[in-house]
Structures are given as C-alpha cells and as structure tokens.
Structure 1
C-alpha cells in the first residue's frame, strides 16, 4: 500500500481536484491523509465530505507545509509515501508508474516521475530536460547533483515517492524553511543512494500566474540567513562519492537565489549570491550576464527575463 500525503492550507478551490485524481488511480490499494494546516477557508470541510474509508483528515494549527507533510508521514500505515500538493493533481496511472519504479529499483532512496506544467491557459505541457529525455524510460540516476546542474530540477514534490523508513531516518522535511525545504531533502537523500526516475509524466504541477505585471508578487524572497545553503555545505563533510558534483550543485543553488534577488531588484544580495556561486564553481557566462542584468533598470530587466521564461515555456 502507498500512503498519499496532502498538506492543505487555504486551497478550497483545488483540493477536490487533487483528491479526485487519487480516487481514480489504477492502483486502488492506497490511503490518503490530508493534513489541514489551519486553513481559513472551507477546504477541510470539503475533505470531510468524502465517504471513503481510505481518506483521513488531520487538523492542526498553522505550522507550515513541512510540518504538515511530516505529520502526515508519521500517521501513515504503509511503507511507501507519495506526496501531492493540494493545488496539483495526478494522471490515473501515477501510483502505478511509481510502483513500477519501486519494483525495478528497490535499492533506490527516492523515486520520481516526469511531470507536466499547467499554465494560466489550462494547457498541460511536459517539462522537458534535454539530457534526460535521451535516456531510457526508467533509469537509476547515480549522480543526482550533476543531473540537476545539467538539466534543472527534474523532480518536484508532487511527483515523488519515498520509503517511510528512509524518510523517518532522514528526519523528514526541515521545519521552518521558507523556501527550498524540498531541495534540501532531495539532496540529503541523494547523499545516501541513487534516485530512480521515469520519463513517463504522470503528475501535473500548476504553474503560478507569473505574467509580467504580477511576477514580483509571486516571488518568495530567499531566506536570509541561507539555511539551505549552509546545510548543503555540511553535506560536503559526509562520505559521499559525488563531492565535486555537490560543489556544482551548491553553486547552482546560489545562482537561483541570485536570479530571484535580481528580479526583486536587490542588487547587493544578487551580487553576493553570484560571488558565493563562483566560490564553489568557476565563473560561467550566466554569472556575467546576471551581473550585467543587475546594472539594468528594473523595468528593462523584468521584460528581458519574462521573454526568456516565455521562450522556455515556463512564463
């Protein structure tokens, strides 16, 4: 059996779609735990209306998404956990897709599928990663860090599964992290073993409204001090086989932070993150371009970045 954990906070408009996508799974041996994290809307009431013994609702005061996921995982009765955010949803074969991975690669520490991004127009487009797309349908990724550096984050929370024992030994998701708790969790797992991945896309990620005028309102300011970055550095002291890749991965993390600060017009913080990236990796063209963009007026910079995202299909 697989336990599906859904953290819920003010998602009354989408929680039924998420739950319904679990109800129609081709795999029927599952349980669904929805952890209401102190919602102020009717989301929890909508969950309580489902007449299915496999669905449980846990209520708690608002403590954050990491705590909600950890509470759900602790209450799980099965040995495998799958996570689904309340505004995302799955194809009918998602759990079947993950079960095939678990059967084929029982030694993996993390399992995940490719996924679709659903834009404002409601159209689902598969998020493509050129280096991975050329590989077999199902594969074992032995160097997670370099794979991310070369392709981008090919996993997201609603596309992964993990064995409960491994999740508990890890300590769950780090609590109190405003952004990047999943990034740190997958990195910690990758230090322990390999990641099993399937190119069959069966999860759907609802892309936020990031039109030119609303982009800044969507962005979450990177946490200062950088807890995730400091914890990633600690992983370098562990006995892992891909330390050089981890160095580049840490640089990749700082480059992402630099881009966010760039869009928030926080020049000093942007330059600092570029310097941190270079300290873990050599100077790249994107570092130079980022520095140039930081010199441009905010409106010109925002327009330039919007068009880059649009060309990549992620605007």
Structure 2
C-alpha cells in the first residue's frame, strides 16, 4: 500500500541536530507517513547517524551537493512519481511538536480547496524560544487566507518546516529556483501566495532553531545568490500586499549588504524599494553606515527586532 503522506528532510552536515529532528517526526500522533531523507553530499557523520537509526519509515537517497533547492525539488518529484498525496517539509535542524502532522492534515480536511496547509511556530534564539507575531489577522481560528502577503509584515506566516503541500500545486507555482542559495524559500512563497489557496492554523506545532550549527545564514553575503524579485513587480497590482512583502525582503537584503559595507549591492536593492512600505525606523536603518549598524549589535538582532530574518533554506 502506498502511504499518502511524505515527510521530506534535506540533509547536509546536520550531525548535531538530525537525531532530534527525526525523533520529533517519529513522535507524531499522525502515523501514516514515510520519511524521505535526501543526503546532499554531507561531509560529517549525518548520514551515518541516520543509517544507524534503521527505521522502517525512512527512505534514504544520496546525491552530490546541489543545494537545498535542488534537494527539495527532487523530493517533490519523488512524491509525484510515487503517488504521495501530500508532502511536508522539515529542515534538519528544526523540530515538530507531536501534533504537527495531524494539525496539517486536519486543515486539508477542513479546507479541501487548499493547496497548502501551514501552522504557527516558535523561534529558538540563544537561550530563549519566542512566539511569532503575525500581521492583519482578525481571528485566530483556522482559516483559508484571503491574502497571503497581507499577513507577512511582521514575522513570515510560514517557513518550509511548517508547510504541507499537495504536490500537484507545483504545476502552478513551479519548483524552487535552483540558481538561488538564499531567500529561495521567499521566492517560492511569492509564487505560492499568487497562485494557490492556503489554509492556516494559529496552533504552534513547530520550532525553528536559529542557533543550530551550519545554517545558511552563516554564509558570507558575498557568496550568496539572492533573488531581486523584479519578475514579480508586474503582479503587485493584482495581489494585495505583494509590493510591501517584496520591499520588506529587499530591505532585509539591502541592510545585510550595508552591514558588509557592500554599497553596490545595497544600492541595487535599496533603489527598488518604495519607501512608503517601510517604517520610519526601517528607513533610518538604511541610512546608517556599516559601522553604525554594527554598533547596534549583530545583523540578526537588528533584523530580528523588526521581525525580519536573514535565514532561508537548509
């Protein structure tokens, strides 16, 4: 019998967290799933740790290092080829509460027209685990979103570790852009927000670990390949909140480049921003020098206080 739900975990040098991540999947109340782990050329003991678990639900594929976008795309294609009806994503350093999959499946049952289901989450930072703050909600009941972008002005309404999708939705949204190393999830979220129906629960069912080792936010800015969102500008008039959503992400990228004193790339992003979409505090930050920004502590803290985070992907 083909199990209908696939859990996908991309694996690249997650030896310190992968067992915790997997245990959170095994502990799910909902049990009708397989776990596809795609080892993306790990050079630490991640793969050996997974093999030692030897659980009947685990399927392991290995590939040369291609990046998280290619890894997730391969998982989506695997789900389609093997008739899985739903696929849930989980990064190798994040973890789920025991009700995560059951909550997502319940959302699809409640809103069968939805192509994407997502739940709320917490952020693990240093010694604290903090709640997310979301924008422009009138109710905390389970709901089908009328405007995805309108709800993303503080924290992102979802991350890849909190999503479940019906694999056929990629016929409309396309796959992840494999040319991007960072913000590849945001680029995909734009297409999701424009072309799919999203069911959302305020129930917190996942923890995003922002202090784990080997996260992509530790890569220097000069080595990152980032979207500029230009391809989506023409659609802004057709989707409530899209322009502001794009500009807030451009702001985050521009600020990170300014922290590195990379004026050329800062300008490339900053000149495309409609300043009406930024708060006064955000506009002031863009006028500061690299030295001034660093005096405000680290980039992540500055952006974190604004609800924006320079982390994406694996």
User: TM-score band, normalised by the shorter chain?
Assistant: 0.7 to 0.9
Mark the CA change 1:298 to 1:151 in structure 2 (over 3 Å): closer, same or farther: closer
Match of 1:257 among 253, 266, 275: 253
Question: Deviation at 1:310?
Answer: 6.2
Question: Deviation at 1:173?
Answer: 1.2
Mark the CA change 1:143 to 1:298 in structure 2 (over 3 Å): closer, same or farther: closer
Partner of 2:147: 143
Partner of 2:10: 7
| Partners of 1:188 and 1:235 within 8 A in 2 | no
Distance in 1 between residues matched to 2:61 and 2:300, nearest whole Å: 41
Give 5+ residue unaligned stretches, structure 2: 310-314
SS in 2 for 1:73: helix
Partner of 1:109: 115
SS in 2 for 1:293: coil
How many pairs were matched up?
301
Q: Is 1:232–2:228 an aligned residue pair?
A: no
Mark the CA change 1:272 to 1:171 in structure 2 (over 3 Å): closer, same or farther: closer
Q: How does 1:1-315 map to 2 (within 5 A)?
A: 1-76=4-79, 77=82, 78-121=84-127, 123-129=128-134, 131-132=136-137, 135-148=139-152, 150-208=153-211, 218=218, 220-221=220-221, 227-233=227-233, 235-236=235-236, 241-242=238-239, 245-278=241-274, 281=276, 284-294=279-289, 297=292, 299-302=294-297, 306=301, 309=304
Question: Deviation at 1:100?
Answer: 1.2
TM-score after normalising by structure 2: 0.84
The one-character-per-residue Cα deviations of 1:168-221 (angstroms, maximum 9, x if unpaired) are 5533211120111111111111111332111001011001379xxxxxx83652
TM-score after normalising by structure 1: 0.84
Question: Deviation at 1:126?
Answer: 2.1
Mark the CA change 1:93 to 1:189 in structure 2 (over 3 Å): closer, same or farther: same
The one-character-per-residue Cα deviations of 1:103-151 (angstroms, maximum 9, x if unpaired) are 1112123211110111222x4322222544x522311111111221x33
The one-character-per-residue Cα deviations of 1:39-82 (angstroms, maximum 9, x if unpaired) are 01111111122333221000101011111111122222311010
Partner of 1:214: none
| Partners of 1:7 and 1:68 within 8 A in 2 | yes
RMSD value, Cα: 3.0
